[in-house]
Structure 1
Amino acid sequence: MTAAGPTAVDLLSAEYLPPSALARAGVKRQTRAALVADGSLLRLRRGRYVRAGTHASLVEAGRLGGRLDCVSLLAELGVFVRTRHHLHLQFEPGTTRLPLRPGTTRAHWRSTHVRREAMCADLVEALAQACRCQTPRDAIATLDSAWHLGLVDENGVESVFARLPRRFRALRPLLDPRSEAGPETLVRLLLRSLGCQVAIQVTLRGVGRVDLVVDGWLIVECDSLAFHEGWAAQKRDRRRDLVAAGLGYTTIRLLAEDIMYRPDELRAMLQAVLSHSR
């Protein structure tokens, strides 16, 4: 595994190497010290080693004596989370002799079934923890994202809710793995709170697939820099919008940054647009 881009399997299966495992592999104390000295092996803390090139987030978690968890783990897996300013780690209850944690670290103390050497929390446990750490809408967007990416299936989603207090069950009917991005989920929820009928990932003749169709006449596209940068992308989008207009649709394009960071203004603008419904 390298810092350049571990796969989900690499990340979730990552384990530190205790001295006993190194010894079984023929790496004795003297050799171990030499490998640490030349940078081939990293010593995280007493009794914990990893190979050079291990993902930086795992190294940081290991040095603090915890496992990568919650939104921090999910972000590394490509799952939508709104913010990643803090490092979320899982710790076993009763663990002692831990180093002082930075103020930006969020500790989640709970028991887990993963192996002692595991450097990441269990995925389902991490998703459940992320539901606790985020607003309900952000939690829905995170679960939609994980489901859409295939990291969990419907049974996995049920397992997430089984680990949460009963009040979280109200979120379950609002999940939809067809949403392809977190901002799309957030807009869908916003529109439904305004009483709209929202169809997801609709294919229109001559246009192709659009993110959302609202009340049968309004196309809402949730644009991000990753897929709409450059003149070529803008030309494609404008041509699609023109074809959609020919079919009787009005198209609006929302910026991901406005969806994420200006929700009140966005809500007001959407209400204004919807007031002109046909």
Structure 2
Amino acid sequence: MSHANTADAGPAPFFFRTRDLTAQGWRGRDVRAASATGRITPLRRGAYCAPATDTDCIEAARSRGRLACVSELHRRGVFVLDHAARHIHIPGEAARLPTTPTHGHVHRERLSRAPHPRSMSVEVLDALRQAVLCQPPRAAIATIDSALHLGVFPHDELDELFAALPRRYRRLRRLLDSRAESGPETLMRLILRTIGCEFHVQVRISGVGRVDFVVDGWLIIECDSEQYHSSWEDQKRDRRRDQAAAALGYATYRPIAEDILWHADEVRAAIVGLLAGRGARRSVPKAG
């Protein structure tokens, strides 16, 4: 009495109905027993999903909606600035909800693409469109970069995405760069653009390896995150890379991702100070 085929149909989780189970030979008592023992997860009357389904998708389906916007993109591994609140799309005709979504944001606009009737999330194009509207422009660029880099959204559908957005957002397109491997890298690139310095991205330096940015030919900037730089082994590797770069005449600046995301002005000031101080003689403070 397997329900795997009806519960899992690709990247977007699908729900199934009682009639799907009865078509596979389930009886009413089988459905009740499976629900009681956790073999299937009840969503609402007559609707179920696999127990391993994403919690946010389950809560969206219980509200007769679909996971949307930054929540759906985060579920797919795409960078978003803040995913604390659950974003749900509720069809306009669903005026009365079985439950009221809490601690979240409800979208009711018409979707550009109709999801599969059993899908528990919106299509990626609509999630991106919603995320652009819900985030600051810098974060929106980072989100699109991330979706392109990960292959979650294809480059050849950018025309459709920007056609679905208000005209004022079209200026963001020229700032996209899918080479960015993380949201902080995109945000750092945008910071560097405001400084007016010369910089190159994803530069490979002999004896050092690939670095995120090289600014004005001598300053390496690496965008560190806790995920890949938290252990002592990671830190030793980073410091040895910096040491190898120093031997070649490079200086390295490693702002943490948290500051790039939330304290961009401080990061910008640090870079401006480093560039201004190149070659400047400074007096050494006296001891004591």
| Structures share fold, TM-score greater than 0.5 | yes
Q: CA deviation at 1:26?
A: 2.1
In the TM superposition, what whole-angstrom CA distance separates every residue of 1:177-217 from its partner, at most 9, and x where no partner exists?
Answer: 11111011111101101112221110011111000111222
Q: CA deviation at 1:10?
A: 4.1
In structure 1, the residue matched to 2:286 is none
Q: CA deviation at 1:50?
A: 1.2
Contact 1:11 1:120 in 2 (8 A): no
In structure 1, the residue matched to 2:243 is 242
**TM-score of the two chains, using structure 1 as the length reference:** 0.91
What is the correspondence of 1:23-172 to structure 2 with a 5 Å cutoff? 23-112=22-111, 113-172=114-173
* Structure 2 residue 230 is the aligned partner of structure 1 residue 229: yes
% of aligned pairs identical?
44
Q: CA deviation at 1:32?
A: 1.8
Which 10-residue stretch deviates more, 213-222 or 106-115?
A: 106-115
Which 10-residue stretch deviates more, 71-80 or 149-158?
A: 149-158
Alignment partner of 2:254: what SS? strand
Letter in 2 for 1:176: D
In structure 1, the residue matched to 2:3 is none
In structure 1, the residue matched to 2:17 is 18
For residues 226 and 155 of structure 1, the distance between their equivalents in structure 2, rounded to whole angstroms, comes to: 31
**TM-score of the two chains, using structure 2 as the length reference:** 0.88
For residues 216 and 9 of structure 2, the distance between their equivalents in structure 1, rounded to whole angstroms, comes to: 41
Which 10-residue stretch deviates more, 103-112 or 194-203?
A: 103-112
For residues 116 and 242 of structure 1, the distance between their equivalents in structure 2, rounded to whole angstroms, comes to: 56
Consecutive unaligned residues in structure 2, runs of 5 or more:
1-7, 280-288
In structure 1, the residue matched to 2:265 is 264
- CA separation of 1:236/1:34 partners in 2, compared to 1, >3 Å: closer, same or farther? closer
For residues 51 and 226 of structure 1, the distance between their equivalents in structure 2, rounded to whole angstroms, comes to: 29
Letter in 2 for 1:60: E
Contact 2:62 2:99 in 1 (8 A): no
- CA separation of 1:105/1:99 partners in 2, compared to 1, >3 Å: closer, same or farther? farther
Letter in 1 for 2:260: I
Contact 2:149 2:179 in 1 (8 A): yes
Contact 1:196 1:215 in 2 (8 A): yes
Contact 1:36 1:43 in 2 (8 A): yes
For residues 106 and 135 of structure 1, the distance between their equivalents in structure 2, rounded to whole angstroms, comes to: 16
Q: Which runs of 4+ in 1 moved over 3 A?
A: 8-11
Consecutive unaligned residues in structure 1, runs of 5 or more:
1-7
Q: CA deviation at 1:277?
A: 4.3
Letter in 2 for 1:255: I
Alignment partner of 2:207: what SS? coil
* Structure 2 residue 209 is the aligned partner of structure 1 residue 191: no
Alignment partner of 1:254: what SS? coil
In the TM superposition, what whole-angstrom CA distance separates every residue of 1:233-259 from its partner, at most 9, and x where no partner exists?
Answer: 222222221222232222111111111
For residues 77 and 25 of structure 1, the distance between their equivalents in structure 2, rounded to whole angstroms, comes to: 30
For residues 269 and 109 of structure 1, the distance between their equivalents in structure 2, rounded to whole angstroms, comes to: 43
For residues 51 and 233 of structure 1, the distance between their equivalents in structure 2, rounded to whole angstroms, comes to: 38
Rg (Cα) greater in structure = 2
Contact 2:39 2:50 in 1 (8 A): yes
Letter in 2 for 1:24: A
